[in-house]
Chains A and B, each alone.
Chain A
Amino acid sequence: MDAKSPGGKRIQLAGDGTISTPEFKPDLEPAGPLGLAALPLGFELSPINARRWQNFKANRRGYWSLWLFLVLFFLSLGAEFLANDKPLFIHFDGKNYFPVFRTYPDTEFGDDMGTAADYRDPHLQDFLNEHHAIEVWAPIRFSYNTINDRPPSAFPSKPTWMLNAADCEFAVKNGYSKCDTLEYNWLGTDDQGRDVLARLIYGFRVSVLFGLILTIVSSVIGVAAGAIQGYFGGWTDLLFQRFIEIWTSVPELYLLLIISSVLVPGFFVLLGILLLFSWVRLVGLVRAEFLRGRNFEYIQAARALGVSNAVIIFRHLLPNAMVATMTFLPFVMSSSVMTLTALDFLGFGLPPGSPSLGELLSQGKANVQAPWLGLTGFCTVALMLSLLIFIGEAVRDAFDPRKTYT
């Protein structure tokens, strides 16, 4: 990693003209270390990207934000293993069961209803205990839609560790579960008795996945549209630009209200509707990059070689435009997450019952007496968006050729 020739760098810094006009074609004159630098991830980066990665790492806040975000994201991807109302594994009667992957009828466990087994049912638990079954549970024994039917109070109920003697007395007096028999709700329950932490983990996953898919798909469309406009210019550009102007003037929210009254707004319907409008964001940026790039001499050289338009766009121009796009992506992503949260908050988002941060926030608004709802929602959304913004800042700085770290 440290095979660096001082020569290359000196040219960048001391070269005539590069100091007086540092903004001149920054991308063409990387100051990075010569030779390839290997990432700990095990693949090799081009020198430009190696320098960017170094710059990114130099921004400690962004770097740690990225790790923290990735850890949270991968944890939430395995939400079923963190919070689930089914055991992960049961060894019973000489057989192995994996309820987290498969649904077993309760006849397997000594019941006779023939419906799917409810592992939280006390009868079923007693039965398994009697037969010395081995059970492995997720750390949280609630899924996002599991209702805690033995709460210490009316819903929304407090986080279990916050219960005090008065609460316990109240529970006994009013026929709720006694304090010493409670299941732990780390962050309490919401107004329908569902564990907030479980909903949080699932909601985080939905938010991030939604943001990620929306960002990627809208970027692909936006980059393609921008590329075509910028590269061909002329009438193509003119007509497309006018179309986009009209398109962006359509009031998004009202359209969403109308569509969601006709279609059931599931995950993918919502994604589709938001996609209709969000692809426009990157078009201008990419178009400008292509307008600039198509007059570069190496593009002219490629044309003089007879290289086809498609190859020029993909091989020569797109990598240039990707720098601007990459810089923008974390911000696009955070605004996508925000849009979904906002729609859920207003009740036009995911169908009722889905785990969602926006819904948690709106519950917090409706139940001011239960501050754990609002606070949890707020902290999670704030943390997630802050991490994305910090990552975005670091990415932006890393791609800035003029940025020097001292």
Chain B
Amino acid sequence: MTDEPLLSVRDLSIAFRQGGRETLAVDRISFDIAKGETLALVGESGSGKSVTALSILKLLPYPAAHHPTGAIVFKGQDFVPLSEREMRRVRGDDITIVFQEPMTSLNPLHTIEKQIGEILLLHRGLSGAAARARTIEVLTQVGIPDPQSRLKAYPHQLSGGQRQRVMIAMALANEPDLLIADEPTTALDVTVQAQIIALLKDIKKRLGMSLLFITHDLGVVRKIADRVCVMKDGKIVEHGTVERIFAAPEHPYTRALMAAEPRPDPAAPHPDAPVVLEVDDLKIWFPIQRGLMRKVVGHIKACDGVSVSLRQGETLGVVGESGSGKTTMGRAILRLISSEGPIVFMGKNIDGLSFKEMRPFRRDMQIVFQDPYGSLSPRLSVADIIKEGLKVHHPDLSNSERDQRVVQALTDVGLDPATRFRFPHEFSGGQRQRIAIARAVVLEPTFIVLDEPTSALDMVIQAQMVDLLRDLQKRHNLTYLFISHDLRVVAAMASWLLVMRHGKVEEAGEAAELFRNPKSDYTRALFAAAFNLDTAPEGVVGQ
């Protein structure tokens, strides 16, 4: 490492102006990145880490965003006073960036070759055969199999992991000095996440570039970073080497972050409790229709022959990668989408009932969704949101009785009942998820489908949410179907485990036993990736 750091951010503040008011998003932060070094910026959502990353390339919505103080010095040049035109020479050449969402960062209308070729043409003037050769070279570098044949592929023809690889290839095309990776693995499955992290590590070492890695996941940080900056509320509260931070965190927030692992205390199986849910050979096939007469030529088997049996007070954890059919299964059990095969709920077969006939059952079966931002109607107050189910199922209740139930439910989930007249956007993600849970429990259901209820939340909040759910389960003797791709959370909750892959059950059994002793290769690879971020040998998992 040389004395002069490659990038030096000094006293940088970022403020946003809106409607005549100023908000400070980032408050006088400083950090350096040396050549060949990986710096991780860690923090919860809203801590200002992504804004910091974008500000380095000046990608913020200027002039609404501006920098009251500070300098961004890259190779001796300050970016803050540079014009948009001068910045454009830096972007994509000296410094490149990989975003979180591979689904939306590629233009769906252009082929891979064209998108990578565009950067080569802009900064290096390469075109034709030369550009093509370079494109194949970088695609090989990021581990896309058979890159020649992939050149003409469109983004939708690639999997999420491959798209992220293409994004990285685009970022590498001009051999940048600094690669900014803004949560590059958050949207990916655990097995793919492990692959991408291994890839980034490998490429960084081979090309000798520096890496600024933004994440909220400490496990990832430990795996990839040399040094860490912990951000909270727009400030860097602690920084140091990975070894030091993980061995002896100083700041209370860092310590809270480290301790944010959900405490494992799964509900034990209740072999003599009444059976709440019995699903036998559940099939959800979406027909593929072709031609003028809409002839059915095949089926997409979202869920193929899944059997579930669940007793009161138990939790069934359903894990699997995205696209494995776990969410579809949860919704089919609640009869929100149609399926084949008997679904016996509390002794009654609810399969084939109409929407109207289902209504009396809905009081006992509820669902909590993944996205606390999307699952609450933005135009209703919290009280109205929670009341909605009561109006359907207890139309005889008076207004004050209803209000009482709402207050009770909010107290149950640990929210101040006085806030019930506010609107969802005034709450944080964790609070919103509590509201969503309150909406489910206000009806006093027996069975709740939890569809990734913790995935959109920060680590610290996740642990609180797991505690809350377990507490509610014990108090009300609830039965959960817990769908998640986050194995750590599932391990903390589930009495039974169901591993799904491509719509089929890969492995099922008692959770404690299965975690200790996975039988299939796929389950083993999944666990390794989730708990240790280890990549699996080729062929076991997809790219």
Chain B residues, Cβ within 8 Å of A54: 19
How far is it, in angstroms, between the C-alpha of A15 and the C-alpha of B425 when the chains are bound?
A: 13
Tell me the chain A residues, 1-25 only, with Cβ under 8 Å from chain B. Answer: 4, 6, 8-11, 13-17, 19-22, 25
Cβ contact within 8 Å between B50 and A19: yes
How far is it, in angstroms, between the C-alpha of A309 and the C-alpha of B436 when the chains are bound?
A: 21
User: Does residue B64 face the partner (Cβ distance < 8 Å to A)?
Assistant: yes
Cβ contact within 8 Å between B18 and A13: yes
> Interface segment, A299-307, A345-353, A388-396?
A299-307
Chain A residues, Cβ within 8 Å of B182: 20
User: Does residue A47 face the partner (Cβ distance < 8 Å to B)?
Assistant: yes
Cβ contact within 8 Å between A296 and B374: yes
Cβ contact within 8 Å between A298 and B377: yes
Chain B residues, Cβ within 8 Å of A16: 45-47, 49-50, 183, 216
Cβ contact within 8 Å between B378 and A28: yes
User: Does residue B397 face the partner (Cβ distance < 8 Å to A)?
Assistant: no
Chain B residues, Cβ within 8 Å of A164: none
Cβ contact within 8 Å between B46 and A11: yes
User: Does residue A406 face the partner (Cβ distance < 8 Å to B)?
Assistant: yes
User: Does residue A31 face the partner (Cβ distance < 8 Å to B)?
Assistant: yes
Say how far A52's CB is from chain B's closest CB, in angstroms. Answer: 12
Chain B residues, Cβ within 8 Å of A319: 379
Evaluate whether A306 and B362 lie within 8 angstroms (CB atoms) in the complex, with A8-B425, A20-B182, A25-B374 already known. Answer: yes
Say how far A20's CB is from chain B's closest CB, in angstroms. Answer: 6
How far is it, in angstroms, between the C-alpha of A114 and the C-alpha of B375 when the chains are bound?
A: 73
Cβ contact within 8 Å between B375 and A298: yes
Tell me the chain B residues, 11-50 only, with Cβ under 8 Å from chain A. Answer: 14, 16-19, 21, 23-26, 45-50
Evaluate whether A20 and B54 lie within 8 angstroms (CB atoms) in the complex, with A46-B423, A48-B378 already known. Answer: yes
User: Does residue B461 face the partner (Cβ distance < 8 Å to A)?
Assistant: no
User: Does residue A404 face the partner (Cβ distance < 8 Å to B)?
Assistant: yes
> Which residue on chain B has the smallest CB distance to residue A49?
B379
Say how far B454's CB is from chain A's closest CB, in angstroms. Answer: 15
User: Does residue A121 face the partner (Cβ distance < 8 Å to B)?
Assistant: no
Tell me the chain A residues, 298-357 only, with Cβ under 8 Å from chain B. Answer: 298, 300-309, 315-316, 319
Chain A residues, Cβ within 8 Å of B234: 14
How far is it, in angstroms, between the C-alpha of A297 and the C-alpha of B451 when the chains are bound?
A: 11
Cβ contact within 8 Å between A14 and B64: no
Cβ contact within 8 Å between B388 and A302: yes
Chain B residues, Cβ within 8 Å of A43: none
Chain B residues, Cβ within 8 Å of A13: 16, 18, 23, 25, 51, 65
How large, as a class, is the contact surface on chain A? Answer: 35 or more
How far is it, in angstroms, between the C-alpha of A322 and the C-alpha of B380 when the chains are bound?
A: 15
Cβ contact within 8 Å between B64 and A6: no
B369's contact among A6, A21, A55, A300, by CB below 8 Å, is which? A300
Chain A residues, Cβ within 8 Å of B355: 309
Q: Mark A15-41, 1 if CB is under 8 A from B, else 0.
A: 111011110010111110110000000
Interface residues contributed by chain B, number (CB under 8 Å)? 64
User: Does residue A254 face the partner (Cβ distance < 8 Å to B)?
Assistant: no
User: Does residue A243 face the partner (Cβ distance < 8 Å to B)?
Assistant: no
How far is it, in angstroms, between the C-alpha of A319 and the C-alpha of B363 when the chains are bound?
A: 26
Cβ contact within 8 Å between A14 and B101: no
Say how far B23's CB is from chain A's closest CB, in angstroms. Answer: 5
How far is it, in angstroms, between the C-alpha of A74 and the C-alpha of B400 when the chains are bound?
A: 44
User: Does residue A405 face the partner (Cβ distance < 8 Å to B)?
Assistant: yes
User: Does residue B393 face the partner (Cβ distance < 8 Å to A)?
Assistant: yes
Cβ contact within 8 Å between B45 and A15: yes
Cβ contact within 8 Å between B21 and A21: no
Chain A residues, Cβ within 8 Å of B507: none
Say how far B420's CB is from chain A's closest CB, in angstroms. Answer: 15
How far is it, in angstroms, between the C-alpha of A305 and the C-alpha of B358 when the chains are bound?
A: 10
Evaluate whether A306 and B46 lie within 8 angstroms (CB atoms) in the complex, with A46-B379, A296-B374 already known. Answer: no
Cβ contact within 8 Å between A14 and B369: no
Cβ contact within 8 Å between B336 and A406: no
B63's contact among A298, A307, A406, by CB below 8 Å, is which? A406
Q: Mark B362-380, 1 if CB is under 8 A from A, else 0.
A: 1101110111011111111
Chain A residues, Cβ within 8 Å of B365: 304
User: Does residue B152 face the partner (Cβ distance < 8 Å to A)?
Assistant: no
Evaluate whether A301 and B439 lie within 8 angstroms (CB atoms) in the complex, with A8-B426, A15-B45, A404-B64 already known. Answer: yes
User: Does residue B285 face the partner (Cβ distance < 8 Å to A)?
Assistant: no
How far is it, in angstroms, between the C-alpha of A31 and the C-alpha of B17 when the chains are bound?
A: 12
User: Does residue B465 face the partner (Cβ distance < 8 Å to A)?
Assistant: no
Tell me the chain B residues, 327-383 only, with Cβ under 8 Å from chain A. Answer: 331, 334, 336, 355, 358-359, 362-363, 365-367, 369-371, 373-380
A404's contact among B18, B100, B370, B439, by CB below 8 Å, is which? B18
> Which residue on chain B has the smallest CB distance to residue A8?
B426
How far is it, in angstroms, between the C-alpha of A210 and the C-alpha of B478 when the chains are bound?
A: 60
Cβ contact within 8 Å between A297 and B374: yes
Cβ contact within 8 Å between B50 and A406: no
Chain A residues, Cβ within 8 Å of B443: 305
How far is it, in angstroms, between the C-alpha of A31 and the C-alpha of B61 when the chains are bound?
A: 15
A-B pairs with beta carbons under 8 Å apart, 10 shown: A6-B21, A14-B23, A47-B426, A55-B19, A298-B374, A301-B375, A302-B377, A304-B362, A308-B392, A315-B380
Given contacts A14-B14, A22-B61, 13 further A-B contacts (CB under 8 A): A10-B23, A13-B51, A14-B48, A16-B46, A46-B423, A47-B423, A297-B371, A304-B367, A305-B362, A306-B362, A309-B355, A404-B18, A404-B61
Closest 5 CB pairs of A and B: A14-B25, A306-B362, A297-B375, A305-B389, A13-B16
